[in-house]
Amino acid sequence: MKILVLGLGSIGRRHCQLLLDHGISVGAWTPSALLSCAELEKHRNFIFFKDLNLALSRPWDCLYVCTVSSHHRFCLELALRKRLNIFVEKPVCVSFAGLPTVVECFERYGLLTHVGSNMRFHFGPERLKELIESREFGDVVSAQIYAGMRLTDWKPNQNYRHSYSAKKSLGGGATLDFIHEIDLINWLFGFPGSVSASVVNTGALEIETEDSVDAILKVGNKVLNLHLDYLRRPFERRIEINFESGFARWCLSSNDVITNSYLSGEIRYETAPAFWEHQTMYEKQTEYWLNCLKHGVCSMSDLAQGVRALQIAEAIKLSGASDSKNIELEEINEF
């Protein structure tokens, strides 16, 4: 199998290494002349292209899109023109407009797609998914989803004010940067019917984009509270779920899942397996996607799922710009 990776930032280099570890022949191109791939070039199955057209002239089984978010739409169009299966890092694009048509084109050509969703392969969210589907504690009543990280800590090797996160034109902002949380809402609880949100630039970081987001999303009778920010130190990521007869909480920092049964009174503490590392979820995602490609199977996190997450993000931003107006997701465009 041969895969071309576009973009060699930290996530692009990570994907290259994972693919090489699986014996894949990897080509790579990056729009930035400043990014190094010296370590990757030591592999005999790796080739670096300085010219994008030359890279695209070779035969590939799949295109990996790891460029900045504002370039993703261009890369999607490249994949369509070349009839290539595609793995695109989150978010799919910086704007929802026109994306349903793009999804239809990929489906019409029979192309396989996957949107980077490594948190779906994390021990904690996987365990929450099992609890929801088993109905061990009955139906979900409500949930709280929280993610916060100080932007200065997120970009330690660069001036964060110049990063894509700080720039509106590059698709930055807490809403899209934490789209994993939005994707997990869709995966765990279902697609929301409506959203009401406060989207704020507090001024604390001197950036263009929003650094704090609070949203209420309704999925049927379930009420979900979402908080995202660039302000918190130390980094925190957690999901708490209230069931009819129990409670479950996953926290990334402690890497455990706590459950409380209201019927039996039993409190359980489940920790990640002994082999678990931060890299594990990326490895599991790579194995899953390569298996989809090998067997021609549609991914559970295909382009349509990524577009749904972006649709929710767009509703959050629209509500925030409209004094927390309640936004029906159908207003964004029925998918």
* CATH number of the domain bearing residue 265: 3.30.360.10
Using the 3D structure, point to which of 63, 88, 117 is the last residue of a domain.
Answer: 117
Looking at the predicted structure, is the pLDDT value of residue 335 above 60? Answer: no
Q: What is the pLDDT of residues 92-122, one digit of tens each?
A: 999 998 999 999 999 999 999 999 999 999 9
Read off the pLDDT band of 53 (50, 70, 90).
Answer: very high
286 inside domain? no
Same structural domain, 85 and 233:
no
Same structural domain, 191 and 328:
yes
Q: Which comes out higher in pLDDT, residue 162 or 249?
A: 249
Same structural domain, 314 and 206:
yes
Same structural domain, 17 and 112:
yes
Same structural domain, 169 and 312:
yes
Same structural domain, 210 and 310:
yes
Mean pLDDT, residues 257-286 taken together: 96
Average pLDDT in the chain: 94
Q: What percent of the chain has pLDDT over 90?
A: 87
Looking at the predicted structure, is the pLDDT value of residue 317 above 80? Answer: yes
Q: What is the pLDDT of residues 124-152, one digit of tens each?
A: 999 999 999 999 999 999 999 999 999 99
Look at the chain and report how many structural domains it folds into. 2
What's the distance, Cα to Cα, between the start and end of the chain in Å?
Answer: 33
Q: Which domain holds residue 62?
A: 2-117
287 inside domain? no
Same structural domain, 243 and 97:
no
What letter represents residue 59's amino acid?
A: P
Q: What is the pLDDT of residue 6?
A: 97
Q: What is the CATH number of the domain that holds 55?
A: 3.40.50.720
Same structural domain, 90 and 194:
no
Same structural domain, 67 and 160:
no
